[in-house]
Amino acid sequence: MSDLEDYPTTRRYILQVMNEAGLKAENTLHELQARTDPGTWARIEGYLKPGMLTGDQRIIELLVAIHPGATGIAMRGQTRLRVQFRGVFSTGISMVGGEGFLQDLSHYGCRMESDTSLQPGTELELCFFYGSREAVPIRVELATVRWAKGQEFGVRFLRLQSHEEARLRQVIAELLVGVPR
């Protein structure tokens, strides 16, 4: 189905099925399909190109594949979502610190804008704040600057505690399905 006007209906149905069955974005498409009537499953499949996803992939990957607001699956194989999250960072050894705004967030990194200039290869610790209700920032223990241009730089996430990684996945899932914060 090429008409993206049906995306909100499909998304609502996916969320309804997920909620009724106790599924999370990390569950597989096989689990979603088993709990979906054939007509609705056919509508969901209509958004996908043949071979795009397999049943062993997670529901979040389905939402990424059909989400019209995502920036798309880039050549790097990541979907980046446009965000504007406040973040703070420090570089450790040189003790350079700063703050800025995260943008183009993915599971693997982000683009950041800051008045503090960083060079490619710089390792840092990063904390960012999601939404107005999030009291505790998401903490990336180790990240590296991949590129820098002016006041912007690309950050690759290298190490997060498992609970922080789960929180990051949840944030991305909520952004993809439009959960208000």
Q: Is residue 113 pLDDT above 90, yes or no?
A: yes
Average confidence (pLDDT) over 77-97: 75
pLDDT of residue 135: 65
Alpha helices, H only, 50-126? 59-66
What pLDDT band is residue 2 in, cutting at 50, 70 and 90?
A: very low
Q: Which of 116, 62, 72 is nearest to 94 (CA)?
A: 116
- Model confidence at 50, pLDDT cuts 50, 70, 90, reads low
Question: Would residue 112 be called left, alpha or beta, if left means φ above 0 and alpha means ψ between -120 and 50 degrees?
Answer: beta
90 to 25, 26, 102, 117, 125: CA distances (angstroms)? 32, 31, 15, 12, 5
CA proximity to 29, closest of 13, 18, 16: 18
Mean pLDDT value across residues 28-52: 74
Angle formed at CA 66 by CA 64 and CA 72, multiple of 5 degrees: 55
**Top-confidence residue, 52 or 35:** 35
